[in-house]
Amino acid sequence: MFEDPLFWVFVLPGLLLGLYAQSRIKLNVAKYSQVPTKDGITGAEVARRLLNAKGLQDVTIESTPGILSDHYDPRAKTLRLSQQVYFTPSVAAAGIAAHEAGHALQDAEDYFPMEVRTYLVPIAQIAAQVAPWLFISGLILQIETVTWAGVILFGSSFLLAFLTLPVEFNASARAKELLVSQGIIRGDEQLAGVEKVLGAAAWTYVAAAVSAIGVWLFYVFVLFFRGHADGDDK
């Protein structure tokens, strides 16, 4: 599959967009990690203040290794922040911490897209491992049902990538509103910094969605055009 030039025609736009998104987020995080918050509070303190303001004292906050490894675990009710965010009193850290706090608020409010995504994640992870083998096996054995099973299974990964978009955009919108309403971010410069950091992060999710639909369209193209062409030749 990876040796097929047509595969890269479908997948390359998502990969290029992903590289662009990664460069933007690294640039903006590096820049606004140098801009301190007005009160000198760290990312962990920002998250705690925002969660407490919404009555979510039961959500724990932990430091986790890695760079940009920040995430909210809805099953453990735990917000995990990378050390760079957890300990740093910067605009970038405040924006990222507030974004993850936004996910905790979504969880508390039973935000429907997040609930669906949470249930879909383990299914999509398994499907991503199984789907290519089913697809290739179906083509080799000329069993169209098996090939279609691979296409449909991979569709769950495609669906997960697109369900992620409203979840992440909503969390970022909540983050900006909370940072301003709680007086953590003050002034146009700091707000612009938060918007640039979160906006750059949003592009990574868009790139993932574009990549997922690119792979899925490649599967469908091979099945409809190459698969049928091979069948006609025989």
pLDDT, tens only, 30-76: 999 999 988 899 999 999 999 999 999 999 999 999 888 999 999 99
Average pLDDT on 196-207 reads 92
Closest CA to 64 of 46, 41, 47, 87: 87
Kindly tell me if the per-residue pLDDT of 80 is higher than 80.
yes
Mapping DSSP to helix (H, G, I), strand (E, B) and coil, where does residue 172 land?
A: helix
pTM equals 0.86
Residue 176, domain extent: 5-233
CB 99 within 8 A of CB 198: yes
**Catalytic residue chosen out of the listed positions 45, 62, 100, 195:** 100
Could you give the number of structural domains in the chain? Answer: 1
pLDDT in tens, 102-146: 999 999 999 999 999 888 888 888 888 888 888 888 888 888 888
Residue 100 known to be catalytic: yes
Give, rounded to a whole angstrom, the gap between the first and last alpha carbons of the chain.
22
